[in-house]
Amino acid sequence: MKAHYKRILRDAEKNVERSLAIQDLREGSPWHGAFSQPDGVYQAKYAIYRVSTMIAAYCNPETKFYHDGTVLRRIHLGLDYVQRVQHENGLFDYVTCNFFSAPDTAFCVVKIVPHLQYLTARQDLTPEEAAIRNRLSEIIHAGARGLLEGGFHTPNHRWAIASVLMSWSPRYCMTPEGPEEEPDYTVRPPGELAALLLRLDAEVETRA
Question: Cα-flanking dihedrals φ and ψ of residue 137, to 5°?
Answer: -60, -40
* Average pLDDT rounded to a whole number, residues 143-158: 78
Please give the tally of structural domains in the chain.
1
Lowest-pLDDT range, 54-58, 59-63, 202-206?
A: 202-206
Q: Please report whether residue 49 resides in a domain.
A: yes
Spatial contact of 168 and 110, defined as CB atoms under 8 Å apart: no
Count of Cβ atoms closer than 10 Å to residue 24 Cβ: 18
Lowest-pLDDT range, 13-17, 38-42, 72-76, 148-152?
A: 148-152
Q: Please report whether residue 160 resides in a domain.
A: yes
Q: Please report whether residue 50 resides in a domain.
A: yes
Per the confidence metrics, is the pTM higher than 0.85?
A: no
- Residue 182: pLDDT band by 50, 70, 90 thresholds? confident
Q: Please report whether residue 178 resides in a domain.
A: no
Question: Cα-flanking dihedrals φ and ψ of residue 79, to 5°?
Answer: -70, -30
Count of Cβ atoms closer than 10 Å to residue 150 Cβ: 19
Q: Please report whether residue 123 resides in a domain.
A: yes
Question: Cα-flanking dihedrals φ and ψ of residue 186, to 5°?
Answer: -120, 125
Q: Please report whether residue 109 resides in a domain.
A: yes
Domain encompassing residue 25: 2-170+184-207
- Residue 148: pLDDT band by 50, 70, 90 thresholds? confident
